[in-house]
Amino acid sequence: MECITIGYDTPRYKEMLALRQEVLRAPLGLDIYAESLCEEASQWLYGLIDNDQLMACLIAKPVDDTTAKLRQMAVSPAAQGKGYGAILLRYVEQQLTAKGIHHITLHARCSASEFYTKAGYGIQSEVFAEVGIPHVSMAKDL
């Protein structure tokens, strides 16, 4: 198992899109390929590889010199519940700290908020709708 940085518009990035489509978009009747993804070229893309397969992915979007927003975490259905998401999240936090990031924000689906709470993130908002489902804003200081 290995955590990696993924380059924009690479074969691994295409795997990342497929995983995000399967886990995050298709269940909502949405199509990631219909979205504008060009902003992702300036974001930090990460993945967890096991047996040469992308099992989890996560994007960090720089907000300013010390803050990043996490987005689009997806874990393969075959890997869910095995700790891959937590491993990738810790790796990304380490990578962001090395870049001088000290504050992380994110919008978590309510169904995933417990995962982030266990990782030290605090809820910062009331429940709100995003992509048609309930979310909360969460944050953590590194």
Dump pLDDT digits (tens) for 79-104. 988 999 999 999 999 999 999 999 99
**What CA–CA distance (Å, rounded) separates 132 from 110?**
12
Sign of CA dihedral 72, 1, 22, 6: positive
Phi-psi region of 132 (alpha: psi -120 to 50; beta: other; left: phi over 0): left
Task: Identify the pLDDT of residue 35.
Answer: 87
- Which fold is adopted by the domain 2-101? Aminopeptidase (3.40.630)
The reported pTM is: 0.94
**What CA–CA distance (Å, rounded) separates 120 from 100?**
19
Would you say residue 119 has pLDDT above 90?
Answer: yes
Digit-coded pLDDT (tens) for 22-66: 999 999 999 999 988 999 999 999 999 999 999 999 999 999 999
Domain residue limits, the chain:
2-101
Sign of CA dihedral 21, 22, 28, 31: positive
pLDDT average, residue stretch 101-113: 95
Q: What's the chain's average pLDDT?
A: 95
